[in-house]
Structure 1
Amino acid sequence: MTDRGLHDARQDKVRVWDPLIRIFHWGLVVAFAVAWLTADDLQPIHEIAGYAVAALVAFRLLWGMVGSRYARFTQFIRGPAAVLAYLGDMARGRERRYLGHNPAGAAMIVALLVTLSATAFTGWLMEDPTRVAMLPDLPQIVAPAHADEDGEHEGYGEGGEDGLEEVHEVFANLMLFLIALHVGGVVFASVRHRENLARAMITGDKQAPGPGDIA
């Protein structure tokens, strides 16, 4: 290959995802998978995986404010109108390629982070009945705690633990639905723009922006 050819090959790729974003992404995949698979039979491992998910989400929120360019929320989050416009362009086969997250992908990230946070939070509440009593303004998704004859706290109200567990499972199942949408969107965008987005999240590199792309 000539020197010019080597130069062109180097310029064909640009670094988009920093190492911490990639570690976060695949670490979250592993942590959530472990939490899901151990939910019924291996509670200690399930709880550890849940704490790992919570820690990763906390990191992503921080990195979204102070991280590299394409990791920052201000770089990719758009309003509802922009998301709907992008989805309309997708339906017409004319959506533009984004070097970072496109508006639909950005909306999915927000949905995933919110749902993961709710799943981890309800799981944390379930570990200790007294934690619900620490949150007086918590919406009445579970029966309130009650006291025994001596006025001492006994934990959840009757059926309260079951109710909280149901809410936890709803969020976990919603996560599965969002993950399926996310994977489908990644496959769709990879085909449409002839770019392996899953591989890009491993290497950190994407195709350099071309005419009409948004960098």
Structure 2
Amino acid sequence: MAEPASGARYKLWDGPVRLVHWLLVGLLAFSWWASEDHLNWHRWSGYTIIGLVLFRLWWGFAGGGAARFASFVKGPRAILAHLRTVGRRDGSDVPGHNPIGALSVLAFLAVLLVQVGTGLFAVDIDAFEAGPFSDRVSFEVGRQIAEIHELNFRILQGLVVLHVVAVLYYLVWKRTDLILPMITGKRALPSDPGLAGAPWWRLILGVALAGAIAWALSKGFRF
């Protein structure tokens, strides 16, 4: 978007949101690369993704400002109203995710949960590589879950493509840069949105909880 006359940039995305975003970008690419010949790395990448998704869910309720689901998840009326503005050339002044972007966030989180969840039960065709919960199901069921795991990844790839296209559309057509704010945390806006942060104890508790659950899942809840 064309920047405000003052060129003022205001705090929008906090550190945890930005770190989770870019770690997921890197780990999804890494998991894809490792899925053929480096399955041990693939598994550990998946466990890390589980932790990141769990933390993002926590931060959507316990975080502050634009990180909270309540700040960007809207109802059908707001979604339809935003759809009517998508084709306009003017930039977007919505601080944070717009109503359509909110649907994208929810879709990503849901598909990622399915992806990592199926990976926990999946079994390869030779029964040589398997998730930590694969012994809780039969080989046939494990193979079916593995197929769902692969199909769901195609859906995830589609979401990634749509996300990139949307970001480029906003950059080129609506002159709204959504990339730099996710790096710096700040974005040019007409005025300070006044988004409050969250106390440090919530961050520490969220990291601890997500890490503990991810570790427990990696062990198949065997201690």
Q: Higher RCO, 1 or 2 (CA under 8 Å, sep at least 6)? A: 2
Which string of whole-angstrom CA distances, capped at 9 and with x for unpartnered residues, describes residues 158-177 of structure 1?
Answer: x4332111100111110000
Aligned counterpart for 1:129 among listed residues 117, 129, 134: 134
Partner secondary structure for residue 14 of structure 1: strand
* TM-score normalised by the chain length of structure 1: 0.76
Aligned: 1:109 with 2:105: yes
Q: Which amino acid aligns with 1:179?
A: V
* TM-score normalised by the chain length of structure 2: 0.74
What CA distance in whole angstroms lies between the structure 2 residues aligned with 1:201 and 1:94?
21
What CA distance in whole angstroms lies between the structure 1 residues aligned with 2:189 and 2:110?
31
Contact 1:195 1:207 in 2 (8 A): no
Q: Which amino acid aligns with 2:150?
A: E
Q: Which amino acid aligns with 1:175?
A: L
Calculate percent identity across the aligned residue pairs: 34
Q: Which amino acid aligns with 1:36?
A: W
Q: Which amino acid aligns with 2:136?
A: R
Question: Displacement of 1:37 after TM fit?
Answer: 1.1
Aligned counterpart for 2:189 among listed residues 200, 208, 212: 208
Partner secondary structure for residue 32 of structure 1: helix
Q: Which amino acid aligns with 1:180?
A: V
Question: Displacement of 1:124 after TM fit?
Answer: 0.8
Contact 2:73 2:102 in 1 (8 A): yes
Q: Which amino acid aligns with 1:43?
A: L
What CA distance in whole angstroms lies between the structure 2 residues aligned with 1:117 and 1:44?
20
Question: Displacement of 1:196 after TM fit?
Answer: 2.0
Q: How large is the Cα RMSD of the aligned pairs?
A: 2.1
The aligned residue for residue 187 of structure 1 is 168
For 1:23-102, list aligned pairs within 5 A. Answer: 23-91=19-87, 96-102=92-98
* Largest Rg, 1 or 2: 1
In structure 1, stretches of 5+ residues that fail to align are 1-7, 133-154
What CA distance in whole angstroms lies between the structure 2 residues aligned with 1:131 and 1:95?
52
Question: Displacement of 1:80 after TM fit?
Answer: 3.1
Contact 2:90 2:174 in 1 (8 A): no
Runs of 4+ in 1 over 6 A off after TM superposition: none
Which string of whole-angstrom CA distances, capped at 9 and with x for unpartnered residues, describes residues 58-94 of structure 1?
Answer: 0100111111210000000012342233223214557
Partner secondary structure for residue 197 of structure 1: coil
